[in-house]
Amino acid sequence: MLNKVALMGKVEKDPVLRMTLDNEVFCFLTLKVAGEDEEVFDVTVWKEMAEYAVTSCKKGSVVAVRGQVAKRTIERNGQSLTEEIYLSIDRVTLVDSSFT
């Protein structure tokens, strides 16, 4: 089985470092990816790569990301509300903006 995702696009807004209840750092990156139709993807970047993304990427940066499709359960007040599919990113590479 193969579960890998690779995207390259422009960062739509500055990423902000956040922390889970288990003290894991992460950030969200919103990427606009060119293709037949422009698509926008919200991806979740974890640990050291999140710290790198926050310090190196800003709105308009061109980045390549690599990771996998994952599933998480959204809970409120200890009750499972819904499951959501998301893109879990473990590698972020800043690309020269002249590439696009």
In a domain, 56, yes or no: yes
Quick one: pLDDT at residue 12?
96
In a domain, 15, yes or no: yes
In the chain, the number of structural domains is 1
Quick one: pLDDT at residue 79?
76
Cα distances from 34 to residues 9, 10, 41, in angstroms, run 7, 9, 11
Quick one: pLDDT at residue 69?
95
**52: Cβ–Cβ under 8 A, 6 or more apart, which residues?**
92
From CA 67, how far away is CA 69, in angstroms rounded?
7
For β-strands 25-33 and 39-46, DSSP reports them as antiparallel
Cα distances from 38 to residues 8, 78, 86, in angstroms, run 12, 38, 19
In a domain, 33, yes or no: yes
In a domain, 99, yes or no: no
Quick one: pLDDT at residue 16?
94
Mean pLDDT by 10 residues, the chain (100 residues): 94 95 94 90 94 94 95 78 89 76
Quick one: pLDDT at residue 19?
95
In a domain, 61, yes or no: yes
Helix, strand and coil in the chain, % to nearest 5 = 15, 60, 30
In a domain, 100, yes or no: no
User: Could you tell me the CATH number of the domain that includes residue 41?
Assistant: 2.40.50.140
